[in-house]
Amino acid sequence: MIHHTELRDLLPGMAPFPTDVFPADQAWLGQHLLPLLKIDLGVLRPELAGQMATMLCPIEPYEGCIGDDTEEHHNEFTGSNWIAFELTDGNQMRFLGNEGYFIGDAVEDEDARAHIAEMRDSHAKAQAYFKQHGKLASYSRYGDGEPGEQAYLDVLGGQISTGNWIETTEIPAAFALAFTEAADDRHAPDDAERAIITRDGRKFFAVAEVAGYNWCAAGADAIVMLYEPESRTVLFSYDWS
């Protein structure tokens, strides 16, 4: 089992700040989600080589969890703090939810509007830094305004983690969540499987985790990215420690 932490050197098949991430009929996703890193899943499972999913950072929320204020637009694939995509044959990320799930520029709060602008601006600055220096640097709102070089990923591979993201809100209906005996066993080995997430009985595996502020001005303490190969489902949740 591949398990890396603090990944500061790109592996084969990884591409920061990818373009052409969303299908043409869902181009509006670019207003809500910032593409961070395209990952060839063959890095984790050789039989999946050529399937390339993209780590995404939501621009919202300014406060709370994504989806908190759009419950009427939730479906079986989306809920508060959970969003899902189908990885197309062309390696684009097709959103399995409804467009109304995102508030976007319709938000009325001035601080939230400033947050949206800052997220987009910091992402663009980080992309420019990468093009010039070949390294990832964050223009975090928590810093001094200067770029600070960061890890591309905090975690690659390993087992599905059990941070607070996994219990913050109920998982959407298309998926099932269960815990193993190791979840309550403090003597279980560090690499023991503690959580199992499935779609139609088929298990997801852990792809990667990264703090949103490694790439942008702000964001979750961990963007958690999972994958189920048969349905080609990419599932995201967010840890706010």
Residue 186: how many CB atoms within 10 A of its CB?
Answer: 5
Give me the pLDDT at residue 190, please: 84
pTM of the predicted model over 0.75: yes
Q: Alpha-carbon distance 123 to 27, whole Å?
A: 18
CA 20 vs CA 27, 38, 124, 241: distances in Å:
9, 11, 16, 32
Structure tokens, 146: 């200067």
Burial class (CB in 10 A: 0-12, 13-18, 19+), 69: middle
CA 4 vs CA 51, 107, 128, 156: distances in Å:
20, 38, 26, 5
pLDDT digits (tens, 9 = 90+) for 2-40: 899 999 999 999 999 999 999 999 999 999 999 999 999
Give me the pLDDT at residue 52, please: 98
The rounded percent of the chain whose pLDDT value lies above 90 is 83
Q: Sign of the CA dihedral 132, 156, 21, 110?
A: negative
CA 46 vs CA 40, 43, 235: distances in Å:
10, 6, 20
Give me the pLDDT at residue 1, please: 64
Query: How many domains in the chain?
Result: 1
Give the structural domain span for 171: 3-239
CA 99 vs CA 6, 13, 43: distances in Å:
34, 30, 32
Low-confidence ranges of the chain (pLDDT < 50): none
Q: Alpha-carbon distance 100 to 92, whole Å?
A: 20
Give me the pLDDT at residue 185, please: 85
Residues in the chain: 241
Residue type, 202: R
The number of CA neighbours under 13 Å toward the Cβ of 232 is: 16
Residue type, 5: T
**Kind and range of the H or E element at 18?**
none
Residue 111: how many CB atoms within 10 A of its CB?
Answer: 9
Please state whether the peptide bond connecting residue 172 to the residue before it is cis, i.e. omega within 30 degrees of 0.
no
